[in-house]
A and B are shown apart, each in its own frame.
Chain A
Amino acid sequence: MTTPEPVAVDPRLLEILVCPLTRTTLRYDRARNELISAAAGLAFPIRDGIPIMLAEEARPLED
């Protein structure tokens, strides 16, 4: 069959999470399994369904 899907993030979390640095809304990038903060220029990873909302773990967005 196919490779196992990554553990999906709980949709309730997507409703309440904001960027910890700028307190702005986040965009969920399903393909990369990341939460994007355009204001902070950071992509927060989701690992095993757990959003990692730590600046030092986030990927800087290339513009």
Chain B
Amino acid sequence: MTPPGAPPLLFDRRAVRAHRTRAASRCARVAPILEEAAAWLLDRLDDTTRRFTAALDLGGRGIVAPLLRARGIATVACDLSPRMAALSGGPAVAADEEWLPFAPASFDLVVASLSLHWVNDLPGTLIQLRRALRPDGLLLASLPAAGTLASLRAALAEAEVALCGGLAPRVAPFPDLRDCAGLLQRAGFALPVADLEEIALDYAAPMALLADLRAAGESNALAERSRRVPPRGVFARALARLAGADGRLKVVLPMAMLTGWAPAPGQPQPARRGSGQVSLADVLRSPPEPGEGDGASDGT
């Protein structure tokens, strides 16, 4: 579906879909991690007095939709893979996050827990989600942030260069926290906020990290990935290097937590430019001592 002349696509969406379909039968293995990630996100619902009635769970891997329904919110689950979508029970749809099939103002809440990082056109997806929201509807999304798997990426690069004399991309790039808030703003969300939460993982056997990634549907789907089977030693060497002296592997999953609201008239708005009645310079200037002039000398 790429028009000619378009920039090359970062992710192979067919591979993303295949990985999610394969993961549908395995992701119970990583349910505790997915549940922790979802809890971080859904906790934010308690920070608002708003009541939500119609939610979209995007890529919740059978974990998020039941949690939303337990809160009494009617929820539609959506996934690129029909088998993954089916895990959520209840109303479910298979759809491409880049081509969402929802009418405007269908939901008052969209939750995307660690599911938007394989999307090629993230700004486009965010715009589509904003349109699918009713005015004053809330988007809650988490993405692996820059730094995720950074040590794995470095260790794999080192091992692959040492063993193969060459290098193929094996870990996807992740967005910087600052970029996330900007993305929300560009997509037209009001009151955009991006902050960071972390999940700490501790593996007794380093190779279990790879098994978990596969079980979560997080296998490499970079368009430029190597199609060749890597020499067996590459992953073993990289993971051995990552493990601590005790043989355990500790990794931190930094998550960019994104919240943004679909614009509505009643929301707090920034004041119109030039509408201020007080000079900011006057406010910032230290209050003048009695008898002193206009505080031209602000002796510190």
Given A16-B102, A17-B103, A19-B101, are A54 and B76 also a contact pair (CB < 8 Å)?
no
Q: Is the CB of B96 within 8 A of A54?
A: yes
Which of B93, B95, B106: most chain A CB closer than 10 A? B93
A43 CB to nearest B CB, Å: 14
Closest to B93 in A: A51
Closest to A18 in B: B103
**Residues of B contacting A48 with CB < 8 Å?**
86
**Cα(A17)–Cα(B99), bound, Å:** 12
Report the interface size for chain B: residues with CB under 8 A from the other chain: 21
A30 within 8 A of B: no
Out of B1, B91, B101, name the residue touching A12 (CB < 8 Å).
B91
A55 CB to nearest B CB, Å: 7
Q: Is the CB of A52 within 8 A of B102?
A: no
**Cα(A34)–Cα(B95), bound, Å:** 15
Given A16-B76, A18-B101, A20-B101, are A55 and B82 also a contact pair (CB < 8 Å)?
no
Out of B76, B82, B96, name the residue touching A47 (CB < 8 Å).
B82
A35 CB to nearest B CB, Å: 9
Q: Is the CB of A17 within 8 A of B101?
A: yes
**Residues of B contacting A38 with CB < 8 Å?**
none
A39 within 8 A of B: no
Q: Is the CB of B95 within 8 A of A53?
A: yes
Q: List B residues 81-121 near A (Cβ within 8 Å).
A: 82, 85-86, 90-96, 99-103, 106-107
A62 within 8 A of B: no
Q: Is the CB of A52 within 8 A of B82?
A: yes
**Residues of A contacting B92 with CB < 8 Å?**
49-50
**Residues of B contacting A21 with CB < 8 Å?**
99
A10 within 8 A of B: yes
Q: Is the CB of A54 within 8 A of B102?
A: no
A1 within 8 A of B: no
Given A16-B106, A17-B102, A21-B99, are A52 and B86 also a contact pair (CB < 8 Å)?
no
Q: Is the CB of A20 within 8 A of B95?
A: yes
**Residues of B contacting A20 with CB < 8 Å?**
95-96, 99-101
Q: List A residues 10-36 near B (Cβ within 8 Å).
A: 10, 12-13, 15-21, 25
The 10 closest A-B pairs by CB, nearest first: A10-B91, A20-B99, A53-B101, A16-B106, A20-B101, A53-B95, A52-B94, A18-B103, A50-B92, A17-B101
